Amino acid sequence: MTIRKSTEERRREIADAAIKIIGERGLREFTAAHIAQEVGIKDATIFHHFKDMNEIILTVFDRLQEVLEAAQRSNGDPLERLERFVLSRLHAVTIQRGIQSLLFSDQITHALGTEGPRRVAALRNRGRDFVRSCLREAAEKGLLREDIDIEGAVILVTGTAMGFLFAAKDGVLPASADEMERRCWQTLRSALVRRQVLS
Amino acid sequence: MTIRKSTEERRREIADAAIKIIGERGLREFTAAHIAQEVGIKDATIFHHFKDMNEIILTVFDRLQEVLEAAQRSNGDPLERLERFVLSRLHAVTIQRGIQSLLFSDQITHALGTEGPRRVAALRNRGRDFVRSCLREAAEKGLLREDIDIEGAVILVTGTAMGFLFAAKDGVLPASADEMERRCWQTLRSALVRRQVLS
Amino acid sequence: MTIRKSTEERRREIADAAIKIIGERGLREFTAAHIAQEVGIKDATIFHHFKDMNEIILTVFDRLQEVLEAAQRSNGDPLERLERFVLSRLHAVTIQRGIQSLLFSDQITHALGTEGPRRVAALRNRGRDFVRSCLREAAEKGLLREDIDIEGAVILVTGTAMGFLFAAKDGVLPASADEMERRCWQTLRSALVRRQVLS
Amino acid sequence: MTIRKSTEERRREIADAAIKIIGERGLREFTAAHIAQEVGIKDATIFHHFKDMNEIILTVFDRLQEVLEAAQRSNGDPLERLERFVLSRLHAVTIQRGIQSLLFSDQITHALGTEGPRRVAALRNRGRDFVRSCLREAAEKGLLREDIDIEGAVILVTGTAMGFLFAAKDGVLPASADEMERRCWQTLRSALVRRQVLS
DNA sequence: CATGAATGAGTTTTCATTCAT
DNA sequence: CATGAATGAAAACTCATTCAT
């Protein structure tokens, strides 16, 4: 009955299972036994592929970072980049949504000692940096309203992304995801950009 | 060496310690042993004051609810109520900040099972409801820009509050808390309200 | 709300509660907390009246001994004494039945170390001695059948008493207790005594 | 130092140790730690082989049932079957004696709740049923004295078996086990069967 | 006499991890 | 590569018992 797979394949399966469990069932079920069950292998096998549980978490972080970077690697008009950033938070398919919610799970990270919290904070900061640079560029290009305070706007934008994610998680989006994406971004956009630009 | 205190006092101490630990060190350290150490008593004593760990969590939830409700019980101009709501997320003193971050810890499940996440989600929803009603009232009074989409704005406002909280948590506020409060609220406000109202 | 009673009264209440609990709910519930609850006092109060749990057990043993001795203190015709001995096992009212079943709860006693088992065994032996002496006397008086082996008969009689007790406990007496007493003793009696004596 | 054995072997060892401990040292010592020590493994290993303590108890019950059923599965002359039933109570080797004494330990409740006592009572009843059917058959065949009351005799026989067991346990058999078996059964037999049959 | 507070020593279990197969 | 067996360490309770009030 034993199915043998290459290490790479197994590592991916295990990391996926870990993400799924943390996302859906919470940290308390992030255990070797649960992950193994999800993958369909035995606990001991996990440690054949990962040194220890921390290595799994670290791998999950790497994955999170990839996902986030993809959303931030877009190019083009700064406002379009912002748009893509905000929408990526909602657009994400299940596993991506799960992984993104890790951004606000400072809890996981504590298993790693102080390094964990630092790493999630760093990831959040990369988001802020990205937003800040988009906004700066937009401001320089005269796209934003003059009275906009960049730092305040950074919080506004990143926060809106968070608000999105949690509203979706809580299942309280008052319309279809697509529809809400549009309305929400519209609100955010019209809040920041020059009137005439909107036309 | 044994210091004897009244049950009420101890219960408060224990709940405070629990909040502090969850906030600062994560759910993984939310254990009887850690809490006891924080309070300066022995593990067994905890169970003299609380039936089990769940009772502690429930108590913490009650406390969270109180804090949130206080922030939402304000009256007056809808915009002022919104302002107080947003600012309360940052203004909070250490223990309140710690407790508020629980709002985004869906992990608190423990033996509460699905009850835990459901309860946090419910608390988040109360926040959304509060914001929505403020916005509606403001809209009716003609205080908001006409093109504002209420549902989008709800996400904007609640999200901004989250953005605030996490920025503060991550220690990346680019100015003093007071200063940032002001700038951030200003941005949010000017994003939503009628131009002429601003003058 | 605190009701104060004399030590003697409380000791009796506590011992009664202990017997009741062991009899009805088993050793696993023979704890200070359960006993206290049964009596309607707090745990700590128990240790105001008894040095420790062992003292309670010892007291219970004393009580058991009293009950047993009463059944063995009867006088008269040896066969009548035997009859009373056997019947006492069934006749006992609730509390006595409960206490008698302790005779076969070697389990309690282990809390006392080796002394416990020795004590119950001793109590059982007193029963055997009593039966043996009755039988000897009956034999000397020519009341028993000649082929009766006294030692075998001792086991027969004491065993029947046990059989009685457990049948009653299991609620499988096929007739009223009184009726069964009679039939059972009749059987035992006719098994041991001379034919002509029966007439 | 670690000795590795197959699960089946370990399960047997653990169950045996459990029986031995309950039999010799009482329920109070029926703990994972004690059992593990007896087997020569660590506590945690027990839970590798048994889900929880209840599973151990249930296994012990199964074992008890097997032993009892073996003693009741004999065939042949009803009186011979009765003889084997009674003697099995004494003949048993250490572990069997230990297990049989569980029959009179209503204490085994643990988390089994009411289930435990009910199960022991059921086992006792099976014994009674067996004896009753032997006696009925013997009566129909005209082997018993006419004045024998079957229900009374059931108690007599099952009781004698109990008497046997406890006398052996208490170490007060006045002769060798074999010798006492013979004498005791003789007494019981002559008490029940027709005179002429004895010849 | 009665009790609330406190605790040391268990007790059952869970979990990550190691190792032999 | 995969897994069953084994375990140390921790976690959540429980319990008898002590002490101050």
Measure Cα distances from D47 to B189, C123, D32, D55, D64 in Å: 60, 39, 9, 10, 22
Specify the amino acid at residue A69. Answer: E
Distance of CA B8 to the CA centre of its chain: 24
The confidence score (pLDDT) of residue A35 equals 95
Q: Which of residues 122-161 of C touch strand F (CB under 7 A)?
A: none
Give the pLDDT band (50/70/90) at residue C161.
confident
Q: Tell me how crowded residue B147 is: count the other CB atoms within 10 A of its CB.
A: 9
Q: Please compute the mean of the pLDDT values over residues C129-143 and round it to a whole number.
A: 92
The confidence score (pLDDT) of residue D197 equals 44
Which positions of chain F lie under 7 Å from any protein Cβ? Answer: 1-21
Chain A residue numbers with beta carbons less than 8 Å from the beta carbon of B107 are 26-28, 105, 107
Choose among C10, C99, C113, C107: nearest CA to C61: C99
Chains that contact C by 3+ CB pairs under 8 Å? D
User: CB–CB of A164 and B159 under 8 A?
Assistant: yes
Q: Give the number of residues written for chain C.
A: 199
CA distance C19 to C38: 11
Is C52 near strand E, with its CB below 7 A from some atom of it? no
Q: Does A153 touch chain B (CB under 8 A)?
A: yes
What is the nearest nucleotide to A39, using C1' and CA?
F2
Compare CB distances from C174 to D107, D147, D151 and report the shortest one's residue: D151
CB-based contact B191:B152 (threshold 8 Å): no
Q: What is the DSSP string of B110-160?
A: GGGTTHHHHHHHHHHHHHHHHHHHHHHHHHHTT-B-TT--HHHHHHHHHHH
Rg (CA), chain D: 19
User: CB–CB of A184 and B156 under 8 A?
Assistant: yes
CA distance B188 to A155: 10
Using one digit for the tens of pLDDT, what is the confidence trace for C173-182? Answer: 888 878 888 8
User: CB–CB of A188 and B152 under 8 A?
Assistant: yes
Q: Convert D2-23 to b/e letters by CB count within 10 Å (16 or more is b).
A: eeeeeeeebbebbbbbbbbbbb
Is B51 near strand E, with its CB below 7 A from some atom of it? no
The confidence score (pLDDT) of residue A166 equals 86
Nearest-CA residue to the C1' of F11? B31
The set of residues, in sequence order, having a beta carbon less than 8 Å from that of D55 and lying 6+ positions away, is: none
Residue with tokens 């406000």: B189
What is the nearest nucleotide to C43, using C1' and CA?
E3
Using one digit for the tens of pLDDT, what is the confidence trace for C1-45? Answer: 567 677 788 999 999 999 888 877 777 788 999 999 999 999 999
Nearest CA distance, B5 vs chain A (angstrom):
32
Chains that contact B by 3+ CB pairs under 8 Å? A
**Count of pairs with CB atoms under 8 A, one residue in A, one in B:** 163
CA distance B126 to A123: 29
CA/C1' separation C129–E7 (Å): 48
Using one digit for the tens of pLDDT, what is the confidence trace for B6-43? Answer: 788 999 999 999 988 887 787 778 899 999 999 999 99
User: CB–CB of A28 and B110 under 8 A?
Assistant: yes
Chain A residue numbers with beta carbons less than 8 Å from the beta carbon of B162 are 159, 162-163, 166
Is A32 near strand E, with its CB below 7 A from some atom of it? yes
Choose among A70, A36, A132, A58: nearest CA to A102: A58
Which positions of chain E lie under 7 Å from any protein Cβ? Answer: 1-21
Residues 108..127 of D with a Cβ closer than 8 Å to C: which?
A: 108-110, 116-117, 121, 124-125
Is C5 near strand E, with its CB below 7 A from some atom of it? yes
Using one digit for the tens of pLDDT, what is the confidence trace for C95-133? Answer: 666 777 778 776 666 666 667 778 888 889 999 999 999
User: CB–CB of C152 and D184 under 8 A?
Assistant: yes
Measured on CA atoms in the order C168, C174, C175, C180, is the torsion positive or negative? negative
Give the pLDDT band (50/70/90) at residue B198.
very low
Side-chain half-sphere of C181: how many Cα atoms within 13 Å?
Answer: 14
CA distance C26 to D121: 14
Q: Which of A50-54, C87-91, D31-35 has the lowest mean pLDDT?
A: C87-91
Q: Does B172 touch chain A (CB under 8 A)?
A: yes
CA distance C11 to C14: 5
CA distance A119 to A63: 13
What helix, strand, coil percent values describe chain C, rounded to 5?
A: 80, 0, 20
Give the pLDDT band (50/70/90) at residue A198.
very low
Model confidence at A113: pLDDT above 80: no
Q: Which of residues 10-49 of C touch strand E (CB under 7 A)?
A: 10, 41-45, 47-49
Q: Please compute the mean of the pLDDT values over residues B95-101 and round it to a whole number.
A: 70
Q: Which of residues 62-121 of D touch strand F (CB under 7 A)?
A: none
Q: Does A42 touch chain B (CB under 8 A)?
A: no
Q: Which of A40-49, B71-80, C190-199 has the lowest mean pLDDT?
A: C190-199
CA/C1' separation B57–F10 (Å): 20
Alpha helix (H) residue ranges in chain D: 7-25, 32-39, 43-49, 53-72, 78-91, 94-101, 115-140, 150-169, 177-192, 195-198
Distance of CA B116 to the CA centre of its chain: 16
% of chain A surpassing 90 pLDDT = 29
Compare CB distances from D149 to C153, C169, C186 and report the shortest one's residue: C186
User: CB–CB of C104 and D145 under 8 A?
Assistant: no
CA distance B156 to D89: 80
User: CB–CB of C163 and D166 under 8 A?
Assistant: no
Residue with tokens 């290595």: A55
User: CB–CB of C191 and D186 under 8 A?
Assistant: no
Q: Tell me how crowded residue D76 is: count the other CB atoms within 10 A of its CB.
A: 9
Q: What is the DSSP string of C143-167?
A: -B-TT--HHHHHHHHHHHHHHHHHH
The confidence score (pLDDT) of residue D31 equals 92
Residue with tokens 């407790």: B99
Nearest-CA residue to the C1' of E19? D2
CB-based contact A141:A135 (threshold 8 Å): no
Q: Does A193 touch chain B (CB under 8 A)?
A: no
Chain C residue numbers with beta carbons less than 8 Å from the beta carbon of D125 are 170, 172
Mutate to test the interface with D, among C187, C188, C193 (most CBs of D within 10 A): C187
CA distance A149 to A153: 6
Chain B residue numbers with beta carbons less than 8 Å from the beta carbon of A187 are 148-149, 152-153, 155-156
Measure Cα distances from C180 to B125, C183, D136 in Å: 70, 5, 18
User: CB–CB of C25 and D191 under 8 A?
Assistant: no
- Domains located in chain B, CATH noted: 7-50 (1.10.10.60), 75-193 (1.10.357.10)
CA distance B187 to B170: 21
Model confidence at A93: pLDDT above 70: no
pTM: 0.82
CB-based contact B7:B45 (threshold 8 Å): no
User: CB–CB of A180 and B145 under 8 A?
Assistant: no
The set of residues, in sequence order, having a beta carbon less than 8 Å from that of C191 and lying 6+ positions away, is: C156, D156, D188, D190, D191, D192
Q: Please compute the mean of the pLDDT values over residues B155-166 and round it to a whole number.
A: 88
CB-based contact B40:B5 (threshold 8 Å): no
Is D86 near strand E, with its CB below 7 A from some atom of it? no
Specify the amino acid at residue A125. Answer: N
Q: Does D139 touch chain C (CB under 8 A)?
A: no
Q: Which of B106-115, B151-160, B173-182, D3-12 has the highest mean pLDDT?
A: B151-160
* Phi, psi torsion values for D65, nearest 5 degrees: -60, -45
Choose among C83, C109, C91, C193: nearest CA to C148: C193
Low-confidence ranges of chain D (pLDDT < 70): 1-2, 90-97, 106-113, 195-199
Model confidence at A136: pLDDT above 90: yes
- The answer to whether A and B touch (≥3 CB pairs < 8 Å) is yes
Q: Six-digit token pair at A185?
A: 């971004």
User: CB–CB of C128 and D172 under 8 A?
Assistant: yes
* Region label for D52, one of left (φ > 0), alpha (ψ between -120 and 50) or beta (otherwise): beta
Q: Tell me how crowded residue A148 is: count the other CB atoms within 10 A of its CB.
A: 20
Specify the amino acid at residue A182. Answer: R
